Amino acid sequence: MEANSLETKEVAQSPTLLSTDALLEHWQGHRKLTRRVIEAFPEDQFYTFSIGGMRTFAQLTMEIVGLAAPGIRGITYGDWTFSEPVLDHSTPAPTTKQEVLNLWDLVTEYIETLWPQIDPNRFYETEAAFGMYENTILNTLLYLIDNEIHHRAQGYVYLRALGVEPPAFWDR
Amino acid sequence: MEANSLETKEVAQSPTLLSTDALLEHWQGHRKLTRRVIEAFPEDQFYTFSIGGMRTFAQLTMEIVGLAAPGIRGITYGDWTFSEPVLDHSTPAPTTKQEVLNLWDLVTEYIETLWPQIDPNRFYETEAAFGMYENTILNTLLYLIDNEIHHRAQGYVYLRALGVEPPAFWDR
């Protein structure tokens, strides 16, 4: 995240394109697809299968969850501290896929609830996301979405290796 | 691509965030990272390695190239026909990785050359991208970027399976 080089001044200088509503819909569309990838995993392989020493899809899912929940809170309120009941990056996965999906849905609702409270100017503010990654709020969010696409795609390879047809990439 | 549901009206109704300059930089930043993933592949494995019946990274790279080149032309001029010397989706990979990288760089320059010619209002126009995928130009471009992240991430798994450390995801 450190190296993302989009600059606030450029955002302000050239015509703007993406609306806050469209950005939320873009994010939630990707989250819907990731949810379907979680669903597609056989229960046991979700927790155990990996390739080349990589994390299991349960662990990758928990990274996405553990960035999205404190992420939307930090984006909305500027509070990047971690405390219960907010998840962080190292929270272990619940022991059943259904509980992971329930957690996923909780985060989806949390995002829907907080989003309307975000001042649009907030997206241009530069802040150390998660207390570490100095960037504009917009770039931090785009990074979270890109990171989700990246790890979800690794799940696609796991599913293919397991002989399971993954959900269509274009279906949000 | 058919199911991408962002709507032009929403883009127009809520505050806009992403500038044309920032969008170009976002895209080219991802392209730089994908280029490093191509470079990281051992020459032979680039053309031969796959998991679960998926395409080789050479084939995945050619999909990205074959969408980016006619994509930026269609985005700029509204011309989605395919003709020489513009690549299409089914163009086979050049026979060496260096030639693929040269082609990659040519597309990067092509994007840089055409981008300033795009009228910013163009991004809100709805058009059948590649003659098939009805969407706003903005959503078509976001889809191309997401598709690149998705296939590149599959290359990350291939590299891990081959025991090769992939480039850092955050380094654009």
pLDDT for position B17:
79
Contacts of B159 in chain A (CB under 8 A): 52
With respect to CATH, is domain B19-161 assigned 1.20.120.450?
Answer: yes
Length of chain B, please? Answer: 172
Q: Where are the domains of chain A?
A: 27-161
Q: Which ipTM value was assigned to this complex?
A: 0.85
In whole angstroms, give the CA distance from residue A40 to residue A148.
17
Q: What residue type is assigned to position A103 of the chain?
A: L
pLDDT for position A141:
96
Query: Count of alpha carbons within 13 Å of B68, Cβ hemisphere only?
Result: 28
Query: Count of alpha carbons within 13 Å of A87, Cβ hemisphere only?
Result: 23
pLDDT tier, B91 (very low <50, low <70, confident <90, very high otherwise)? confident
Cis omega (within 30 of 0) on the bond before A85? yes
Name A38's bridge partners.
Answer: none
Kindly state the helix (H) or strand (E) to which residue A129 belongs, with its residue range: strand A126-129
Q: What residue type is assigned to position B162 of the chain?
A: L
What percentage of residues in chain B have a pLDDT greater than 90?
Answer: 73
Say yes or no for a CB contact (<8 Å) between B1 and A149: no
B163 at interface of A, judged by CB pairs closer than 8 A: yes
* Nearest chain A Cα distance for residue B136, angstroms: 11
Chain B interface test: which of A33, A146, A156 (most B C-beta within 10 Å): A146
A83 at interface of B, judged by CB pairs closer than 8 A: no
The mean predicted confidence, pLDDT, of chain A is 88
Residue whose token pair is 């654009």: B172
Classified as helix, coil or strand, B172 is coil
Mean pLDDT in residue range A103-116 = 96
Report residue A114 as tokens.
């907080």
In whole angstroms, give the CA distance from residue A87 to residue B135.
36
- CATH topology for A27-161? Four Helix Bundle (Hemerythrin (Met), subunit A) (1.20.120)
pLDDT for position A86:
47
In whole angstroms, give the CA distance from residue A158 to residue B52.
8
Q: Please answer whether residues A73 and A114 qualify as being in contact, where contact means their C-beta atoms are separated by less than 8 angstroms.
A: yes
Say yes or no for a CB contact (<8 Å) between A157 and B54: yes
Say yes or no for a CB contact (<8 Å) between B120 and A21: no
In whole angstroms, give the CA distance from residue A69 to residue A23.
17
pLDDT for position A3:
41
B59 at interface of A, judged by CB pairs closer than 8 A: no
Question: Looking at chain B, which runs of residues are DSSP E strands?
Answer: 126-129, 133-136
Q: What are the Cα distances from residue A42, in Å, to A45, A115, B42? A: 5, 33, 32
pLDDT tier, A78 (very low <50, low <70, confident <90, very high otherwise)? very high
Report residue B80 as tokens.
């989605």
Mean pLDDT in residue range A158-168 = 97
In whole angstroms, give the CA distance from residue A60 to residue A63.
5
Tens digit of each residue's pLDDT (9 = 90 or more) over A5-45: 444 444 444 667 788 999 999 999 999 999 999 999 999 99
In whole angstroms, give the CA distance from residue A16 to residue B134.
22
pLDDT for position A4:
43
Mean pLDDT in residue range A126-148 = 94
Compare all CA atoms of chain B with the CA of A116 and give the residue at the minimum distance.
B14
Q: Please answer whether residues B134 and B126 qualify as being in contact, where contact means their C-beta atoms are separated by less than 8 angstroms.
A: yes
pLDDT for position A2:
39
Query: Which of B17, B26, B123 minimises the CB distance to A20?
Result: B17
pLDDT for position A165:
96
Q: What torsion do the CA atoms of A3, B160, B38, B25 make, to the nearest 10 degrees?
A: -20
A115 at interface of B, judged by CB pairs closer than 8 A: no
pLDDT tier, B7 (very low <50, low <70, confident <90, very high otherwise)? very low
Residue B85 scores a pLDDT above 60: no
The mean predicted confidence, pLDDT, of chain B is 88
Contacts of B14 in chain A (CB under 8 A): 19-22, 120
Say yes or no for a CB contact (<8 Å) between B51 and A154: no
